[in-house]
Amino acid sequence: MKQTLGLWAGLAVLLTAFPVSAEDKRPGAGPPSEQPASTLLEPAPPPSALADAVVLIIRHAEKPAQGRDLSAAGRRRAEAYVSYFEHFTIDGLPLKLDYLVATADSAGSDRPRQTLEPLSRALGLKINAPFASKQCGKLAEDLQSNSHGKLILIAWHHGQIPALLTALGSDPRQLLPDGKWPEDEFSWVIQLRYDHQGRLIPTQARRINEGLMPGDAK
């Protein structure tokens, strides 16, 4: 009996000297400091495909009172875009476009595609038009997920350009009057720039007056 009591007393001393925590009792678990680093740190997300990219956005060129095509003035602007973008510079370097995007043709308008056609022929670049005017989020997701080069030009319908800017991470109120593209304005280029992780650089988002045709703002 005395030996049994002595054994129990010895165990009590050991337990007091080396307490077992709740974490120690979990099968296979050690102290927090011994946990593998992979369980403590989440991996960094991969950079967006827009890393170091520049996105330029224009409205389609002028339209007639009726019909789905460009007006005569619109066709002249579309032709003038060839020289305009050949001489367009970013950080003092000439622009070399990698990717052209237009709104998909619709029952009411082919104008975004028609606006880019002369430039497409001059550069030998295909016009990509997989998304309808209101599918701004899908276009932004595609540009962020799939590499299309670093210099991208988009021709879109003016009523949806604010939504497109938002989808691309910008604030249309900082670039357009009251956050809207005016009905009678055809002579602006929106320039968006992205950092090494593909995040928009707000201080480098700007609206450019083309000054391309008679009557354009300078």
Q: Which residues are paired to 93 by β-bridges? A: 90
Q: Which residues are paired to 152 by β-bridges? A: 55, 99
Residues 167-204 have pLDDT tens digits of 999 999 999 999 999 999 999 999 999 999 999 999 99
- Whether 181 maps to a domain, the answer reads yes
Residues 115-155 have pLDDT tens digits of 999 999 999 999 999 999 999 999 999 999 999 999 999 99
Range of the domain at 21: 2-39
Give the count of domains, the chain.
Answer: 2
Verify that 133 and 185 share a domain, yes or no.
yes
Tokens of 77: 């602007």
Question: How far apart (Å, rounded) are the C-alpha atoms in residues 61 and 93?
Answer: 26
Q: What is the pTM of this model?
A: 0.80
Verify that 173 and 148 share a domain, yes or no.
yes
Q: Is residue 153 packed enough to be buried (19+ CB in 10 Å), middle (13-18) or exposed (0-12)?
A: buried
